[in-house]
C-alpha cells in the first residue's frame, strides 16, 4: 500500500529510510502486527521491474563502463564509486550537495532499497574482541552490549538473508549459520596454504557473503555474473527490495511513501516523547506531518545525525537526544587503501568458470593479544581476489594482427590483489554538523563533514602493505607492488558513529537497545549507532541490532512503556 499526503495520518510505527536496516525494521514491525509507514526520500524501485541494466552487455553502453567527463564533473563523488551499469542507483552530487571540510566521499543511493541494492554483501560478525576494545584501550566509550547479547540475532538475520560461507572456529571472527561456501580458485588456495604454513595464526578463507549458493526463501541462486550492483532479477543476493520490503508488504501492515524527505522528528514537551515526523515531498516541496507511537530512524549515518540535529525543541535546543553533546561526533569509516599486488607463473593449466561475486578474506591477525612490537592499536582484515589476466587487462600491450589477437584472447598469468580493511578509532573531532548559512533546494541546512584518518590509521596502513607484500613474496609471487591509494574517508562506504550507543547518557546518544536515552520511543539502528568500527564489514551488525531493537520496542509498547 502506498500513502498519499494525508496530513495527520497516524500509524503504530514510522521507519525513516528503506535501506538495509530500514527494510529490516519495516519487516520486523509489520510482522509484529504494527501498522507501519516506511518513508524513503528517493524514488520507488520495485524488484526486477526497475533494474534496467541488469541484463545488458558491456557493448550495450554508449561509453562502455566509463563515465563521461561531464558526468564526472556533475557528480564527482558518486562517479568515483559507480559505473554506467549502476549509476542510476546513485545520487547526483550537484542535486544533493554537502560540504567537505576535508575530503570525504559521501556515497548515497536515494531510492527505495537505498544502498542495499549496491552494497558489497560481505557479512561478518563482531566478537568480544571488538565489543570490549574501547573499554580495554580507552578509546571511545564502552559498548553497552557484548557478543552474547547479539549472537542470537546474528543467527536470526543470517537464516533469513542467506549467507554463504565457511565456519573456521576463530574467536576474533565468530562462526555463523551459513549456506554452502563458494570456492577459492587454485591461486587463492595456494596463497592460503603458504600463509597458514608460515603462520598458524593466519588463515585465508572464502568471503562470507549474502549471495545465495542455492535457492532460498523464494529467491533464486546466485548466477555468478558479478553484476550485483545493477540489481539482481534472480534475487541471488539480499536487498531490501528482494526480501524485507516484500515480506513487510505480505503482512498487509506496510505503507510505503517514496519522495518523502524527513525534515525533523516532532517532539511533544508535555508528553516527553516523539509524536511523529515532518516530511517534505521531494517533488512538490509540500510539507506535512505523519504521526506514530514509535519511530525507527534508519536514514544512514550522516543523514540520520542530520535529522536528529534538525529536530530541535524547547527540550532539545541542540538536536533531539543531544544531552551528551556527542550527536554528530565520533564519525568513523574503514580505510581500505593499502595492500599489495603480485603475479604468479604457475597453474597455467587451470582456469575458472563464471564470475564469482566474492573474494577471499584473511581475518584479523594483529593485536589479538598483547603485541608490544606494533605501533598501532586495533587491527585489520585482508580482503582480495586471485584471477587470470584477460584481454582487457592487456589492452595496452604493443602488437598487431593475428598473433596479437591470439595473445590477447589467451588467458594471461595468475595474479592476486589484496588490501586491508582497517579499523578507525572513534575520534570526537571527526564529526558531522549543520551549516548555518547554506541550504539545499528543499530549504534544509547542508550537512558538513569534517573527517580524517589519523596517526593510528596511517601506521596501520603501513603495516598492511608491508605484511601483504611479505605474504605474496613468501608464496612465490613476482613483480610485487605494495600500494596505498590514499583514498579519502567515506570511500569504503562504511561510515558509522555520530549517534553512538553507550552505558552513560552523559557520553552517548543511545542505550543498549538503540533507544535515544531521553526519548524512549525513538530507536536508531543504522550505522550511526556504532560505538566503535571494528574492522569487519558492518551491515550484518546493523541488521542484527535492528531486529533486536524491534523485538524490544514491540514488547515495551505492549507493556505501556512507550
Residue 98 belongs to some domain of the structure: no
**125 — alpha (psi -120 to 50), left (phi > 0) or beta?**
beta
Q: Are 106 and 495 contacting, i.e. CB atoms less than 8 angstroms apart?
A: yes
What's the pLDDT score for residue 8?
A: 63
501 alpha-carbon distance from chain centroid: 18
Residue 223 in any domain: the answer is no
Angle between helices 186-198 and 455-474 (to 10 degrees): 110
Residue 386 belongs to some domain of the structure: no
For residue 250, the Cα-to-chain-centroid distance in whole angstroms is 26
Q: Which regions of the chain are under pLDDT 70? A: 1-8
Give me the half-sphere count of Cα atoms (radius 13 Å) on the Cβ side of residue 550: 32
What is the distance between the alpha carbons of residues 421 and 435, in angstroms, rounded to a whole number?
Answer: 31
Domain residues for the domain of 148 are 1-50+107-164+229-328+495-562
Closest CA to 524 of 186, 276, 326, 296: 296
Amino acid 7: pLDDT: 56
Burial label, 389 (beta-carbon count in 10 A; 0-12, 13-18, 19+): middle
Q: Beta partners for 2?
A: 256
pLDDT of residue 152: 98
- Classify residue 239: in a domain, yes or no: yes
Residues 6+ apart with CB under 8 A from 128: 146, 147
pLDDT at 396 (0 to 100): 78
Q: Are 379 and 220 in contact (CB under 8 A)?
A: no
Compute the CA torsion angle 545, 548, 551, 557 (nearest 10 deg). Answer: -60
Q: How many domains does the chain have?
A: 1
How many Å separate Cα 427 from the centre of its chain? 20
| Residue at 340 is within a domain | no
pLDDT score at 114: 98
Per DSSP, what are the bridge partners of residue 341? 417, 481
Q: Do the domain assignments include residue 142?
A: yes
* pLDDT (0 to 100) of residue 6: 58
Show the beta-strand stretches assigned E in 61-140: 99-100
Return d(Cα 42, Cα 526) in angstroms, integer.
18
> How far apart are alpha carbons 228 and 236 in whole angstroms?
8
Where residue 10 sits, what CATH number does that domain have?
A: 3.50.50.60
Q: Are 143 and 330 in contact (CB under 8 A)?
A: no
- Considering only the C-alpha atoms of the chain, give the largest distance between any 2 of them, rounded to a whole number of Å: 82
Supply the pLDDT for residue 1: 55
CA dihedral 77, 459, 430, 503 (to 10 degrees): 130
- What single string gives the DSSP state of each residue in 397-429? S---HHHHHHHHTS---EEEEEEEEE-----TT
The SS3 call for residue 543 is helix
- Compute the distance between CA of residue 119 and CA of residue 108 in angstroms, rounded to an integer: 11
Amino acid at each position: 500500500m502506498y500513502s498519499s499526503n494525508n496530513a495527520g495520518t497516524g500509524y503504530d510505527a514510522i521507519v525513516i529510510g528503506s535501506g538495509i536496516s530500514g527494510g529490516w525494521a519495516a519487516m520486523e514491525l509489520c510482522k509484529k502486527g504494527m501498522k507501519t509507514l516506511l518513508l524513503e526520500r528517493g524514488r520507488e524501485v520495485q524488484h526486477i521491474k526497475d533494474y534496467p541494466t541488469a541484463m545488458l552487455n558491456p557493448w550495450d553502453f554508449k561509453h562502455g563502463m566509463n563515465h563521461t567527463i561531464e558526468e564526472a564533473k556533475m557528480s564527482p563523488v558518486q562517479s568515483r564509486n559507480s559505473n554506467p551499469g549502476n549509476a542510476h542507483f546513485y545520487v547526483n552530487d550537484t542535486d544533493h550537495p554537502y560540504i567537505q571540510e576535508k575530503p570525504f566521499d559521501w556515497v548515497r543511493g536515494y531510492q527505495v532499497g537505498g544502498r542495499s541494492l549496491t552494497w558489497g554483501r560481505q557479512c561478518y560478525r563482531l566478537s568480544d574482541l571488538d565489543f570490549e576494545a574501547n573499554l580495554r584501550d580507552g578509546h571511545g566509550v564502552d559498548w553497552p552490549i557484548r557478543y552474547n547479547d547479539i549472537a542470537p540475532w546474528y543467527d536470526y538475520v543470517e537464516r533469513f538473508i542467506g549467507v554463504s560461507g565457511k565456519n573456521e572456529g576463530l574467536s576474533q571472527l565468530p562462526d555463523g549459520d551459513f549456506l554452502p561456501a563458494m570456492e577459492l580458485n587454485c591461486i587463492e588456495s595456494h596463497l592460503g596454504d603458504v600463509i597458514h604454513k608460515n603462520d598458524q595464526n593466519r588463515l585465508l578463507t572464502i568471503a562470507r557473503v549474502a549471495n545465495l549458493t542455492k535457492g532460498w526463501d523464494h529467491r533464486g541462486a546466485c548466477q555468478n555474473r558479478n553484476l550485483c550492483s545493477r540489481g539482481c532479477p534472480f534475487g541471488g543476493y539480499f536487498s531490501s527490495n528482494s526480501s524485507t520490503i516484500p515480506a513487510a508488504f505480505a503482512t498487509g501492515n506496510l505503507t510505503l511513501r517514496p519522495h518523502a524527505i524527513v525534515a525533523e522528528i516532532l517532539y511533544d514537551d508535555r508528553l516527553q516523547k516523539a509524536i511523529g515526523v515532518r516530511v517534505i515531498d521531494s517533488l512538490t516541496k509540500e510539507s506535512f506531518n505523519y504521526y506514530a507511537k514509535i519511530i525507527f530512524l534508519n536514514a544512514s549515518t550522516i543523514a540520520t545525525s542530520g535529522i536528529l540535529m534538525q529536530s530541535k525543541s524547547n527540550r532539545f535546543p541542540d538536536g533531539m537526544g543531544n544531552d551528551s553533546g556527542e550527536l554528530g561526533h565520533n564519525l568513523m569509516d574503514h580505510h581500505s587503501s593499502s595492500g599489495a599486488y603480485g603475479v604468479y607463473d604457475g597453474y597455467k593449466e587451470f582456469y575458472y568458470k563464471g564470475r564469482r561475486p566474492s573474494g577471499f578474506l584473511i581475518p584479523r591477525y594483529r593485536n589479538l593479544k598483547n603485541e608490544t612490537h606494533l605501533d598501532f592499536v586495533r587491527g585489520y582484515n585482508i580482503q582480495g581476489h586471485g584471477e587470470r589476466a584477460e584481454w582487457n587487462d592487456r589492452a595496452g600491450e604493443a602488437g598487431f594482427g593475428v598473433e596479437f589477437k591470439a595473445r590477447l584472447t589467451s588467458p594471461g598469468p595468475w595474479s592476486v590483489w589484496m588490501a586491508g580493511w582497517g579499523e578507525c578509532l572513534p575520534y570526537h573531532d571527526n564529526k558531522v554538523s549543520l551549516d548555518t548559512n547554506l541550504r539545499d533546494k528543499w530549504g534544509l541546512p547542508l550537512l558538513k563533514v569534517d573527517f580524517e584518518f589519523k596517526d593510528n590509521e596511517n601506521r596501520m596502513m603501513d603495516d598492511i602493505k608491508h605484511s601483504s607484500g611479505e605474504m605474496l613474496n613468501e608464496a612465490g609471487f613476482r613483480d610485487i607492488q605494495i600500494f596505498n591509494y590514499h583514498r579519502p574517508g567515506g570511500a569504503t562506504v562504511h561510515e558509522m558513529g555520530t549517534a553512538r550507543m553507550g552505558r552513560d547518557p552523559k557520553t552517548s546518544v543511545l542505550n543498549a537497545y538503540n533507544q535515544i536515552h531521553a526519548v524512549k520511543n525513538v530507536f536508531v539502528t543504522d550505522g550511526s549507532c556504532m560505538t566503535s568500527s571494528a574492522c569487519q564489514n558492518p551491515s550484518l551488525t546493523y541488521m542484527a541490532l535492528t531486529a533486536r531493537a524491534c523485538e524490544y520496542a514491540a514488547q515495551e509498547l505492549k507493556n505501556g512503556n512507550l
